[in-house]
């Protein structure tokens, strides 16, 4: 019978095995120990082929001392690019195939102020594993030639992977870093695991004591972005509502009642845009945010999560569109449709296309997106200036009238 070590080594895709063996032998030459840890080991142990095959796969390597030296040699040998953070003892190597390999020097972390990032002291692999979020992410696999594939499991991660449990390593963990709540729920839904009973209580306690208030908007937003890229994002978001997590972030915020339908609308809008507007850049996250927010919550959430101005404007314009689209009627002329919709970001229009209940409003928005907005004016400002006109409000009016005629004379 194959041992667990043989089994996980067999699971490593060849393209990655090459890198791991190379990193291990460089570490060996430099007389330091080297491990791969975190998500990669977890997915190997779960035989999660989808995750392992993902092109965005990244490797986390922990070296006991001098991670940067090892990273530099590996980058040299593979002619890969490297970013070094000397003061943190870390380096990121990006290979030609675009694998990201993060090298860190084994460390211990302490949390001095609520919600802040931890301070770091270089340390052993054991302590490095104890600073991690969950037992399932705290299994390390040696990559030294002498014991390649050997597992270090100080925190019963293998047992929790077997019994499908999410469990933090100590009772203060969610308080130290409440973003772990989002991570726990994300893994729970991704792997169909359960957050263990004790952790559910710890999470509730952190929420009840408003520890989330100490986390910056940017860090919470990062967690949402990671949730948005999950296949089962909607399940994760629904599970967050079980913990009343939305109103812990912003008091008036809760998941809309018809959330699953609205989310489905947003997903369909994105899929539709990929098919029909392939040359346009669509900010998919902006469309997904529309499914989570409404007129009452947009401002407060934008503020708390420190949305960039561009995203904020897109979300705000959705409220305007709700009013504007009521001015459309089934007999609106193309020029009227163009005039009304022309100032709206594409994300807002595609979301409305799927979320709108009125079929003729949908028809008009679709006509605008697929046809009207691509029409080039036959007469431009330059043409008029060449004919001796001076730029003026009258000239702008003449131009618009000519363009409007052109739009209204289009054949269906």
Q: By CB under 6 A, name the one of 24, 38, 334, 345 that touches ligand ATP.
A: 38
CB 91 within 8 A of CB 103: yes
Q: Which is nearer to ligand ATP, 68 or 140 (CB)?
A: 140
Rounded CA-CA distance 214/63 in Å is 32
Q: Which is nearer to ligand ATP, 37 or 341 (CB)?
A: 37
- Does 188 bind ligand ATP (CB under 6 A)? Our answer is no
- Does 155 bind ligand ATP (CB under 6 A)? Our answer is no
CB 265 within 8 A of CB 355: yes
- Does 133 bind ligand ATP (CB under 6 A)? Our answer is yes
Q: How far from chain centre, in Å, is Cα 209?
A: 27
Rounded CA-CA distance 158/45 in Å is 8
Rounded CA-CA distance 59/71 in Å is 12
Q: Which is nearer to ligand ATP, 134 or 289 (CB)?
A: 134
* Three-state DSSP class for residue 37: strand
Q: By CB under 6 A, name the one of 25, 33, 135, 137 that touches ligand ATP.
A: 137
Q: Which is nearer to ligand ATP, 57 or 82 (CB)?
A: 57
- Does 179 bind ligand ATP (CB under 6 A)? Our answer is yes
Rounded CA-CA distance 271/215 in Å is 33
CB 39 within 8 A of CB 134: no
- Does 60 bind ligand ATP (CB under 6 A)? Our answer is yes
- Does 90 bind ligand ATP (CB under 6 A)? Our answer is no
The single residue listed with the structure tokens 């860190």 is 104
Task: State the minimum distance, in angstroms, from the CB of residue 33 to ligand ATP.
Answer: 18
Task: State the minimum distance, in angstroms, from the CB of residue 312 to ligand ATP.
Answer: 26
CB 140 within 8 A of CB 152: yes
Rounded CA-CA distance 171/187 in Å is 19
- Does 107 bind ligand ATP (CB under 6 A)? Our answer is no
Q: Which is nearer to ligand ATP, 37 or 365 (CB)?
A: 37
Q: By CB under 6 A, name the one of 167, 180, 189, 318 that touches ligand ATP.
A: 180
Rounded CA-CA distance 58/177 in Å is 23
Size of the site for ligand ATP (CB under 6 A): 9
* φ, ψ of residue 94 in degrees (nearest 5): -115, 115
- Does 298 bind ligand ATP (CB under 6 A)? Our answer is no
Q: Which is nearer to ligand ATP, 230 or 366 (CB)?
A: 230
Q: Which helix (H) or strand (E) holds 270?
A: helix 259-276
Give the contacts of 27 (CB within 8 A, at least 6 positions apart): 33, 34, 63, 70, 143, 144
- Does 265 bind ligand ATP (CB under 6 A)? Our answer is no
Rounded CA-CA distance 54/113 in Å is 36
- Does 39 bind ligand ATP (CB under 6 A)? Our answer is yes
Give residue number: closest CB to ligand ATP.
Answer: 39
Task: State the minimum distance, in angstroms, from the CB of residue 226 to ligand ATP.
Answer: 6
Q: By CB under 6 A, name the one of 177, 188, 265, 347 that touches ligand ATP.
A: 177
- Does 157 bind ligand ATP (CB under 6 A)? Our answer is no
Q: Would you tell me which residues interact with ligand ATP (CB under 6 A)?
A: 38-39, 60, 132-133, 137, 177, 179-180
């Amino acid at each position: 019978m194959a041992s667990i070590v043989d089994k996980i080594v067999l699971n490593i895709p060849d393209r990655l095995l090459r890198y791991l063996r190379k990193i291990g032998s460089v570490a060996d030459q430099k007389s330091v120990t080297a491990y791969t840890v975190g998500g990669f080991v977890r997915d190997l142990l779960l035989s999660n082929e989808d995750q392992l095959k993902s092109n965005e796969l990244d490797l986390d390597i922990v070296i006991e001392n001098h991670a940067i030296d090892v990273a530099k040699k590996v980058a040299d040998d593979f002619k890969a690019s490297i970013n070094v953070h000397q003061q943190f003892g870390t380096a990121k190597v990006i290979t030609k195939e675009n694998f990201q390999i993060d090298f860190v020097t084994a460390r211990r972390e302490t949390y001095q102020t609520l919600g802040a990032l931890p301070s770091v002291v270089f340390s052993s692999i054991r302590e490095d594993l104890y600073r991690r979020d969950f037992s399932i992410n705290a299994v390390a696999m040696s990559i030294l030639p002498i014991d390649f594939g050997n597992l270090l499991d100080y925190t019963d991660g293998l047992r929790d992977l077997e019994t499908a449990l999410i469990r933090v390593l100590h009772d203060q963990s969610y308080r130290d870093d409440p973003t772990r709540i989002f991570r726990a729920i994300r893994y729970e839904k991704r792997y169909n695991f359960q957050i263990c009973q004790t952790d559910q209580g710890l999470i509730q306690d952190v929420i009840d004591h408003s520890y989330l208030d100490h986390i910056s908007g940017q860090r919470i937003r990062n967690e949402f972005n990671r949730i948005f890229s999950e296949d089962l994002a909607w399940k994760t978001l629904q599970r967050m509502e079980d913990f009343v997590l939305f109103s812990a972030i912003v008091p008036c915020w809760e998941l809309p009642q018809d959330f699953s339908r609205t989310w489905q609308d947003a997903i369909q809008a994105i899929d539709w845009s990929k098919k029909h507007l392939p040359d346009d850049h669509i900010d998919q996250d902006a469309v997904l945010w529309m499914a989570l927010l409404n007129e009452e919550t947009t401002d407060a959430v934008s503020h708390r999560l420190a949305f960039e101005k561009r995203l904020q404007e897109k979300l705000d314009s959705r409220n305007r569109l709700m009013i504007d689209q009521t001015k459309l009627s089934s007999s609106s002329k193309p020029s009227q449709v163009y005039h009304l919709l022309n100032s709206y970001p594409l994300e807002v229009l595609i979301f409305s296309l799927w979320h709108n209940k009125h079929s003729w409003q949908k028809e008009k928005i679709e006509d605008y997106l697929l046809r009207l907005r691509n029409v080039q004016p036959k007469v431009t400002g330059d043409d008029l200036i060449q004919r001796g006109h001076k730029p003026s409000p009258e000239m702008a009016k003449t131009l618009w009238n000519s363009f409007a005629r052109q739009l209204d004379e289009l054949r269906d």
